[in-house]
Amino acid sequence: MAIKLETRGLGKRYGDVQALEPTDLQVHAGEFLTLLGPSGSGKTTLLQMIAGLAEPSAGQLHIDGVEATHLPPGKRGIGLVFQSYALFPHMTVAENVAYPLRMRRVRGQEMQRAVTDALAMVKMEAYAQRYPRELSGGQQQRIALARCFVYRPSVVLLDEPLGALDKKLREHMQLEIRRLHQELGLTFIYVTHDQEEALTMSDRICLMNQAKVEQVGTPQELYDRPATRFAATFLGHSNLLDGEADGKEGFLWADRRLPVPAQVSLSGPMALLVRPEAARLVAREEGLVCGPVVETVFIGSDIRVTVKLASGSSFVIRCPRGAMPAIGQEIGIAWNRDASVLLPI
């Protein structure tokens, strides 16, 4: 797959503060890449340097194989969508969408045709003569997207564009943005701190923490095979058992020897990761670990059960609605060895 955009040791420092460690990242043409991480992880700093809104302290940026590190923002072929929409209140919807074309000296029928096409992409043709104040939050977000798409940028940057919307509308707009990405075939780079949003929308996720890249991969790879403890805990719920890998497909935890995935020969202090949906309830004597039930929570499609282990830590399992154990009941927990992951401590 062709490389659309690449950073080579791209980093940013503000005085004594390292906002982004030197970063190497490749973005494929036509893919939806999400920059995911907590506040202060460096994701917005990286997006701003790609957009040309912040000057790198180190490294290079290449777009379509051409160095663009110091190119002005308007010459990079990049579109940017903000969380705040940034629509002009005194302009109609059509005038807002046409604004980038006017700045590029596009006029007449060519401009009108491009505006009509952009509004059709987001299904907002009927609102062309309205003003932003007459639109809902979701409609304003669609106009912000249309304004970005109207001049067909080769790369679209979206900086937490759905953060101001309510949950239901946010979920709807996630699907709309994903649909637009698939229809247009453009390269999207999307910033969010919402794990569910990243898992839903992305072809790949670039997980960031403490001003550096933690792991890059598909949503399935990051969820099923996290490379670090942070990756395991930031994406979804994790049961982590700290112990010692014996180098012989076994794991010593408390007074037990637990199985690890076949052909894993790691040794030394490690953590064993088991996701709640990968575990199952069994009789106490059949469990790999066991303990009393301390909490059960009904979450609609299934039940979340919390068990207190002998080590004092808690273990969470998701089980079918009809299998809810009683509080205080001693139960065992089992899982298939290949459903677990060993992580460095």
**Are 3-229 and 238-344 the same fold in CATH?**
no
Q: Give domain limits for the chain.
A: 3-229, 238-344
The dihedral sign for the CA sequence 122, 124, 129, 130: negative
pLDDT of residue 7: 98
The fold adopted by the segment(s) 3-229 is Rossmann fold (3.40.50)
Q: Which of 114, 10, 126, 112 is nearest to 62 (CA)?
A: 10
What superfamily in CATH does domain 238-344 come from?
Answer: Nucleic acid-binding proteins (2.40.50.140)
pLDDT of residue 205: 98
For residue 310, the model assigns a pLDDT of 86
> What Cα–Cα distance (Å) separates residue 139 from each residue in 101, 125, 160, 166, 249?
21, 11, 16, 13, 55
**Whole-angstrom distance, CA of residue 212 vs CA of residue 95:** 40
* Averaged pLDDT in 10-residue chunks for the chain of 345 residues: 95 95 97 96 96 96 95 90 85 94 89 92 91 90 89 90 80 86 91 92 97 96 94 92 83 86 76 94 94 92 92 91 87 92 88
* pLDDT at position 263: 61
Reported in sequence order, the residue ranges of the chain that DSSP labels E, i.e. its strands, are: 3-14, 17-28, 32-36, 58-63, 66-67, 78-81, 155-159, 187-192, 204-209, 212-217, 239-246, 250-253, 256-259, 267-274, 279-282, 289-298, 303-308, 314-319, 330-335, 340-344
